[in-house]
Chain A
Amino acid sequence: MENLLDQFSIGLAFWQTILFLGLLLLLRKYAWKPILNSVNERESKISESLELAEKTRAEMETMKAQNENLLKEARAERDALIKDAKETVNTMIEDAKGKAREEADKVQVSAREAFAAEKSAAIAELKTQVASISIEIAEKVVRGELGSQEKQTSLANKLVEDINMN
């Protein structure tokens, strides 16, 4: 113990105190704070990145499922559209056919009507011409019959006879 106290140098302790305190303050400002800060920053960055990766993976999974669903829906929709289109085409063709037939029928009917009208007109004219010709013939016949006195009296007698019989 005496040896220990004998060895103890106040001067050395004094310088050690100053130097160590100085080192402590200098290193705190210029070394430990920046080092520990960057290490902490890196650690938080790493954990954040890991979390983000995990999150992204989960998101990818859901997106994949969603994509599959979308694809399925799209496929179904396409099928439906094709089916619709086919039906429309068929109905359109049917419609067109029906209309065409109708039109044709109409044309036929009007043609027939026009023909009938022409015919009746022709018949009417023929009738009037036949009538006038008949009158002319009758005139000529009458003129011939009533050319002499006797013929006139015999006709009158005959007419009277007809009336008497009635």
Chain B
Amino acid sequence: MYRLLRFILVVALLSPVVTSSVFANAEAHHGAPDKELTPEELRDENNAFVKHHTNDSHDFGIVSNEETGTHVGFPLPVILWDGSLHVFMSSAFEHGEKVVESKGNYYKLDTHDGKIYKTDEHGVVMTETTIDKKTKEETVHQLKPLDFSITKNVFVTIFMCILMFFLFKGIAKSYKTGLAPTGAAKFFEPIILFIRDEIAIPNIGEKAHKKYMVYLLTVFFFIWFLNLIGMTPLGINVTGNIAVTFVLAIFTFLITQFTGKKDYWMHIFWMPGVPVPMKIILIPIELIGLVVKPFALMIRLYANMLAGHIVLGALIAAVYFFDAYLAKTAFLGLTFFMNIIELLVAALQAYIFTMLTALYFGSAAAVHEEAH
């Protein structure tokens, strides 16, 4: 386990170098016949490239060459719900080239937004027109099936869950031989203790923190590991996806509400210690706060991780955008520097998410002895 972790760490540190070489390959095939690309076109292409790498996808691409149309990677299962269940491998799309027929329905993968659309047999996207009754305005919707595919992000999450399960199970087992930490536990025990002593106990309290520890530890390591795996040159961006951070924030929100003590609800609906009109004014404010807190959690993690990936992608693209070697070297150095920063951010964002979660749990679990 320890060796595996070291391997991940090394890969993460080397990622700018490796990513650059991947880009270099793509560029080498790319550059030769398309000499006439204007800077604007090149910029747009780089833009799309960076954007593409921050998005989820239906296959696990490792290296691809747009020019020759070769893609190295492996397909992932596509699961669609469109009145009935449709299951097939994403390789059937041939990277958006082909229309897939399943149980009489036709589907096509749009490579620009990475979404699957319902089409007819010729690959023309089916649309639905709705007319707004008031304004008589017509809006055209492209038909999309409900997509429950095992996408790249889901795949990485499954991998991470398995890794975390065996890693921490192994650590738990290592305590059976003796109470002193051995192996991977030497590295992870201080982090676990940090979460308990510096995050959980000061925010939630000596007594109440115990029941929240499971969630705090899981969410910290889950975010941290997914952030770290996002630093690999595989173009993984799980924590920079709004759906992922939404789910995590929802968990925090639900746990906060369901473990809320009397005092917690009192502070929302009948704030003690203020005059009655003030109490009434405070109710909607507190209710908004209830929703804003997890919303902020969701946006903070999402925006930080996505921004990090975009900046890194842009810097790497800049290395190829400029012709001067001095500029290339400078941007390469900057990329490396940004990678180090991102490694810090990976841990920092996991810490902040856990810290704020603990803070919200603390307000839910607080029992105030004195009247305010």
A contacts, CB < 8 Å to B: 4, 6-17, 19-20, 22-24, 26-28, 30-36, 38-39, 41-42, 45
Question: How large, as a class, is the contact surface on chain B?
Answer: 35 or more
Binds A, one of B26-34, B88-96, B171-179, B356-364: B171-179
Having A9-B147, A11-B146, A19-B158, one finds 5 other A-B pairs with CB under 8 Å, namely A15-B150, A15-B157, A23-B165, A23-B218, A36-B213
B contacts, CB < 8 Å to A: 55-56, 79, 113, 146-151, 153-154, 157-158, 161, 164-165, 168-169, 171-173, 175-176, 179-180, 185, 189, 192-193, 196, 213-215, 217-218, 222, 241-244, 246-248, 250-251
Q: Report chain A residues within 8 Å CB of B244.
A: 12-13, 16
> Which one, A13, A23, A35, contacts B243 given CB within 8 A?
A13
Q: Report chain B residues within 8 Å CB of A7.
A: 55, 241-243
Least distance between A156 CB and chain B CB atoms (Å): 153
Q: Helix, strand, loop or mixed for chain B's interface?
A: helix
Q: Report chain B residues within 8 Å CB of A33.
A: 214
Tally inter-chain residue pairs, CB-CB below 8 A: 116
Q: Report chain A residues within 8 Å CB of B243.
A: 7-10, 12-13, 16
Please determine whether B196 and A19 come into contact, CB atoms closer than 8 angstroms: no
Least distance between B211 CB and chain A CB atoms (Å): 11
Please determine whether A20 and B172 come into contact, CB atoms closer than 8 angstroms: no
Q: Helix, strand, loop or mixed for chain A's interface?
A: helix
Q: Report chain A residues within 8 Å CB of B218.
A: 20, 23-24, 27-28, 32
7 contacts between A and B (CB under 8 A): A19-B158, A22-B161, A30-B168, A31-B171, A32-B168, A34-B173, A39-B175
Please determine whether B148 and A27 come into contact, CB atoms closer than 8 angstroms: no
Closest residue on chain A to residue B113 by CB atoms: A6
